[in-house]
A = this chain, B = another copy of it.
Amino acid sequence: MQDRTYTADAEPGDDATVAGWVHEIRDLGGIAFLILRDATGKIQIKFEKDEMDDDLVETGLGVSRESVVSVSGAVEEEPRAPTGVEVVPESVDVISAADPELPLDPSGKVDADLSTRLDNRTLDLRKDEVQAVFEIRAEILRAARERFREFHCTEINTPKIVATGTEGGTELFPITYFGEEAFMNQSPQLFKQLIAGSNIERVFEIGPIFRAEEHNTPRHLNEATSIDFEGAFCDQNDAMDVAEGVVTAAYEAVAENCGDELEALGLADDFEVPEADFPRLSYEEAIERINATGELDEQLVWGDDLPTEGEKALGDDVGGHYFITDWPSEIKPFYIMDHGDDEELSTGFDLMHPRMELVSGGQREHRHEHLIEGFEQQGLDPDQFEYYTKMFKYGMPPHAGFGLGGERLIMTVLGLDNIREAVLFPRDRQRLSP
């Protein structure tokens, strides 16, 4: 294509061609400004009506908002312009004229509800603060991968089409696979364990997971991004170290590399990287502290799962990220290992943000006979999982891991209200397109 200068790179003294969208036209009478927007920002194009070619003025000021234009001209210093420079146009090309009736106003002056925004995501993403979320999302994923590599992990990709689901309870989306029944995978759990049992030892995967759960809440998606870790010769404490490292890496990377994006989101002044060494509370301590807050109508007792309002009370009490460890075995999945010989106490853990659960993990059951028992106790037929369980007969090391909800991480890092704000094209009960 023709040489093009990003608006952010246009320097006084340059002859430049800038191209982007017509953000706004400000007509002050004898002088008028076209504000052109591209990936890197906005730039002012100055039209002095009496001193310029009529056709040029007509083209530049007659174009509808959100049209794509290319402008060539001299870049000049102009302290009154928003970026300190402006372009004096020699030519204006309308590359792609926009319909004057926009379903959504990318200048953000007119509010739109989430549904309208998602239906018109291209226009929605032309808002600085929406673009910023997805630039930050990309940076968080980059930083997570980098931190995993520092922990000696190898990136893997596991299949999304599977013969059987990982966890009996959760709903699966069925697919037809060349006449056979199959499912979209709800977690890389079994596959990442199979790799941790090989020479590769420590693995991570960032990929889609699919859950046919019916609840429609601001923090659930039916297609989500899972950030998974599994490590041979790791126990739950090692897995917690990795989880804390990856979550912290996300904040650090955003603080370091996303200044403009935090500015666009109004978060630049208050953004904080969480302090290291997240508190590790046992489940027993957690229910005691929740009970002590007096926020629940009924006191929690050993074996209760933590209700949302209990998590909230504890989150307010702790005031930052924290782990809950040593859960009762009966409320953790069967593939989580028990503590030594205590069958009541599991090595499972959760990493909590004050607003919600981010991570679930633990040491895994690596003993073949215990694993088979676990399937049976869960009411699952171990034969259906033989492709997985049989590898546990051939030298499966102790191993531990976790799954971290990618969108929940982005949501909590940025304080987003709705998890759908953290996904380009969310999938929920009501939404299948775009």
Question: Quick one: which of B124, B137, B162, B177 contacts A173, CB cutoff 8 A?
Answer: B177
A366's closest neighbor in chain B, by CB? B96
Tell me whether A380 is interfacial, beta carbon within 8 Å: no
A273 on interface, CB distance cutoff 8 Å:
no
The answer to whether B207 touches A1, judged by C-beta atoms less than 8 angstroms apart, is no
Known: A154-B135, A393-B99. A126 touches B199 (CB 8 A): yes
A348: interface (CB < 8 Å): no
Q: A184-B184, A432-B180 are in contact. Are A157 and B424 (CB under 8 A)?
A: yes
Q: Do A131 and B427 have beta carbons less than 8 Å apart?
A: no
Contact partner, A202, options B39, B157, B233, Cβ 8 Å: B39
Residues in B neighbouring A396, C-beta threshold 8 A? 68, 96, 122
Find chain B residues with CB under 8 A from A387 CB.
119, 433-434
The stretch of A26-34, A189-197, A294-302 in contact with B is A189-197
CB-based contact B173/A155 at 8 Å: no
Residues of chain B contacted by A154 (CB below 8 angstroms): 134-135, 138
> A176: shortest Cβ distance to chain B, in Å?
5
Q: How far is the CA of A142 from the CA of B397 in the complex (A)?
A: 28
Q: How large is the interface on A (under 10, 10 to 19, 20 to 34, 35 or more residues)?
A: 35 or more
Instruction: Tell me which residues from 338 to 370 in chain A have a Cβ below 8 Å from any Cβ of chain B.
Output: 366-367
In the assembly, what is the distance between CA of A128 and CA of B138, in Å?
33
Residues of B within 8 A of A429 (CB): 178
Instruction: Compute how far the CA of A214 lies from the CA of B178 in the bound complex, rounded to whole angstroms.
Output: 8
Given contacts A156-B134, A198-B122, A200-B135, contact A68 B395 (CB under 8 A): yes
Q: A4-B233, A99-B393, A131-B200 are in contact. Are A184 and B195 (CB under 8 A)?
A: no
Of residues 1 through 59 on chain A, the ones whose CB sits less than 8 Å from some CB of chain B are 1, 4, 19-22, 37-39
**Does A274 sit within 8 A of B, measured CB to CB?**
no
Given contacts A176-B173, A434-B194, contact A38 B199 (CB under 8 A): yes
Q: Are B121 and A141 in contact (CB under 8 A)?
A: no
CA distance A396 to B119 in the complex (A): 16
Contact in complex: A178, B125 (CB < 8 Å): no
- A281 interface residue per 8 A CB criterion: no
Partner of A395, one of B98, B141, B208: B98
List the 4 closest A-B pairs by CB distance, nearest first: A125-B198, A387-B434, A39-B201, A98-B395
Q: B-contacting residues of A (Cβ < 8 Å)?
A: 1, 4, 19-22, 37-39, 66-68, 95-99, 102-103, 119-128, 131, 134-135, 137-138, 141-142, 145, 149, 152, 154-164, 173-178, 180, 182, 184, 190-191, 194-195, 197-202, 207-208, 210, 212, 214, 222-223, 225, 232-235, 237-238, 366-367, 387-388, 390-391, 393-398, 423-425, 427, 429, 432-434
Can you list 17 residue pairs at the A/B interface with Cβ under 8 Å?
A: A1-B234, A19-B233, A21-B395, A22-B395, A121-B194, A122-B197, A122-B198, A126-B199, A142-B149, A157-B424, A159-B424, A160-B208, A160-B210, A161-B222, A161-B432, A178-B429, A191-B424
Seed contacts A68-B396, A98-B394, A164-B433; 11 additional CB < 8 Å A-B pairs: A96-B396, A122-B195, A126-B198, A128-B199, A137-B155, A138-B156, A158-B424, A159-B424, A161-B184, A161-B223, A194-B434
